[in-house]
Amino acid sequence: MAASGEQAPLLGSDLRSIPEPHDIATTLLKHNHHHDCLDDDEDADSAPAGSGTRSAGVARMEAASARLSPMERFWVFSGIFLIGYAYGLESQVRSTYMPYATSSFSLHSYLATINLLRSVVAVAVQPTAAKIADVFGRFQVVAASTLFYVVGMAIESTSGSVYSFCAGTILYQIGYTCIVLLLEILVADFSSMRARVFFSYIPALPFVINTWISGSITSAVLRITTWRWGIGMWCIIYPVASLPLLITLYSIDRRTALRPDDKSELGQTYKDLRNWSVRFFDQVDGIGLVTLVTTFSLVLTPLTIAGGTVSHWRNPQVVIPLVIGLIFVPVFILWEKNGARNPLVPFHLLTDRGVWAALAVRSLLNFAWYVQGNYLYTVLIVAFDFPIESATRILSFFSFFGVVSGVAVGLVIYKFRRLKHIIVIGTVLFMVALGVLIRFPGGATSTSRAGLIGGQILLGLSSGLFAYPTQASIQASASRDHVAILTGLYLSFYNVGSALGTCLSGAIWTQTLYPTLEASLAFQPNTTLARAIYENPFHIVSQYPVGTEIRDAIIHSYESIQRLLCITGMFICLPMICFALALRNPKLHVSERTVTFGDTIPLRILYLIDRLTAIASDDYRLHQFFLSRLSTPATDLQPLSHADRLDFSYRPRQTEQTRGFSDHSRKSASSVDV
């Protein structure tokens, strides 16, 4: 085994040279992390500077990152993967159970309202969770999110009305939103900018597996029992999956806790509960948070409830909240700019086009997808006549193929260190995919089904080119002190897009579907059939097989609405492409001091790919190659020149050099620009 100094590049710095936690924290208060992130050929000087002070949670996490052993890093990333697997699979099967849940209350059309409620909660929670994670620490927020997650699912699975179901959904969404955010923040804590995109996909990697098993799970659950057990069983599964990360973070948190004389001013007020409450309220910007939640709630909720029904817009109970919500928008802006001591939204960052353009791209991505995808499962069952298992898998294609392309893009970005061109290509392909879906909006024929599947695959592949790269772009625009809040803000705009998408799709659906069904079914005598299909489509369509006149009329109705939704999504892509063109094009770097676990894996993968292309079909030499590579420090791995490849490929087997690599193919770690 190599010495610890040789192992250092693999999983962090030499532990023997790391000072004590309180020394690190004191130093970090004066340290600006910005050099680790950005080298923009166009606007390097315009990037925002970091702050002069640092929250206790940020200082402790940077101290922990410097002191972690290789095994602890392994457990951190393994824990991230396990939680990502759990919430990823749960969210995929939930998308199948939700329509059944709303239909069981005879309120299937309320699906958009429930999804909107989740989006509004997520928008408010993410900046708050980021603030709390910076003030208190990562472990505390992960533990709290697990509690909310489990309690929310328990209430949902035992709810007796749509109102109690919505209450459980709110708690569930708080937990879900916090854990998604915290996993991304943890990845940012333990990886460099250059490897950020690659490692951001760790929580999403389980989608590669879950896509193919989620359909079997939902089909088996609904065949044996109901949606209640389908949701309720995760009250046991999820806490078990979260234990490895919770235990590891707790151990790290206790070991890196700052000494009393090094704690932040906020931490010194624990003895005085009243003062602590006031300071905590200031730290998380309580007034700004309440204003933000009120604004989104009053604006977005009436839009979906009213939809496009003219009579609803004449109701003061719909119009007045909407007007008040719009009034709160300038109130929120004025408070954040002039009144807040610790603004929820760092407005000085929003003037950077690397920030506001990235926020717009992320929001419009979800806006466009949710417009066509909010009722996609219903369309798959009713208009395409897919079985439950196939419909669930198709619904997961967006995530599955997004992860597949995203991991590959992460390697490309690691090698070329640029983001903008990949992001722009992704946005253009996303619009092309929606064009394919406009051509195939419904129909039970094999051609229609193949077109729908092809369009969904292209949607997923294209999203992998710009979803996480845009997140890395916005993180590259700020210092480490602002990474958490910018990530929370980025994910908030992710949910703003989701909310707008569910609003618009709900409005189009409620305004057009029922009249279309009535017109299509006017030839038959049952005047209540259109209303029955609109409120509970899954039960009714099973009574009318494909090929019957009534089923054809139903398919035609759903097909026309889905086409309208896809056309709307395609138009939303136009400004998204424009904002992608406005992004910065930073060159991502990582200094030798900050080589971490996040830098080494992509480097090894790229090296293996490069070397395998130069090796002849020789099992013995291939075996020796793998043995030598797996024991080589990451910073020594360098792609060989063409001459080196020829030298290796044609060297006689009997010589000693065939059992390793020539000395000139390696460079010292100090000369490597990682």
Residue 205 near residue 102 (C-beta atoms within 8 A): no
> What are the structural domain ranges in the chain?
70-257+344-581, 285-343, 592-671
The single residue listed with the structure tokens 């038959």 is 524
499: left (phi over 0), alpha (psi -120 to 50) or beta: alpha
| pTM attached to this predicted model | 0.69
For residue 239, count CB atoms less than 10 angstroms from its CB and return exposed for 0-12, middle for 13-18, buried for 19 or more.
Answer: middle
Beta partners for residue 40, in sequence order: 586
- In eight-state DSSP terms, residue 546 is B
Amino acid at 576: M
Most confident of 171-180, 499-508, 581-590: 171-180
CA 267 – CA 139 distance, rounded (Å): 16
Amino acid at 376: L
- State residue 412 phi and psi, 5-degree precision: -65, -45
How would DSSP label each residue in 82-126? Answer: HHHHHHHHHHHHHHHHHHHHHHHTT-GGGHHHHHHHHHHHHHHHH
Specify the range with the lowest mean pLDDT, choosing from 437-441, 570-574, 669-673: 669-673
Strands, E assignment, 331-476: none
Contacts for 304 with CB less than 8 Å, ≥ 6 apart: 112, 113, 116, 502, 503, 506, 507
Q: What is the pLDDT of residues 358-411, one digit of tens each?
A: 999 999 999 999 999 988 998 999 999 888 878 878 887 888 898 889 888 888
Sign of CA dihedral 13, 15, 16, 22: positive
479: left (phi over 0), alpha (psi -120 to 50) or beta: beta
CA 670 – CA 674 distance, rounded (Å): 10
CA 167 – CA 156 distance, rounded (Å): 8
Percentage of residues in the chain having pLDDT higher than 90: 17
CA 102 – CA 98 distance, rounded (Å): 6
Amino acid at 336: E
- State residue 548 phi and psi, 5-degree precision: -75, 155
Cα 176–Cα 495–Cα 243 angle in degrees, nearest 5:
15
Average pLDDT over residues 413-435: 89
Does pLDDT of 572 surpass 60?
yes
Q: What is the pLDDT of residues 145-201, one digit of tens each?
A: 999 999 999 998 888 888 888 889 889 989 998 998 889 888 887 777 777 778 788
Q: What is the pLDDT of residues 210-238, one digit of tens each?
A: 777 877 888 888 888 888 898 999 999 99
Q: Tokens standing for 672?
A: 């490597």
Amino acid at 354: G
DSSP helix/strand/coil, 548 = strand
- What pLDDT is recorded for position 146? 93
Q: Tokens standing for 97?
A: 């159970």
| pLDDT, mean over the chain | 74
Hey, how many other C-beta atoms are within 10 angstroms of the C-beta on 29?
A: 14
Beta partners for residue 546, in sequence order: 548
CA 257 – CA 56 distance, rounded (Å): 9
- What pLDDT is recorded for position 436? 93
Q: Greater confidence, 403 or 655?
A: 403
Amino acid at 579: F
- Three-class secondary structure assignment of 176-234: HHHHHHHHHHHHHHCCCCCCHHHHHCCCCCCHHHHHHHHHHHHHHHHHHCCHHHHHHCH
307: left (phi over 0), alpha (psi -120 to 50) or beta: left
Contacts for 578 with CB less than 8 Å, ≥ 6 apart: none
Percentage of residues in the chain having pLDDT higher than 70: 70
Sign of CA dihedral 76, 78, 81, 86: negative
What b/e readout covers 504-528, taking b as 16+ CB neighbours within 10 angstroms?
bbbbbbbbbbbebbeebbeeeeeee
DSSP helix/strand/coil, 618 = coil
CA 658 – CA 619 distance, rounded (Å): 12
Classify domain 70-257+344-581 by CATH number: 1.20.1250.20
Average pLDDT over residues 276-292: 77
CA 244 – CA 253 distance, rounded (Å): 14
Residue 477 near residue 352 (C-beta atoms within 8 A): yes
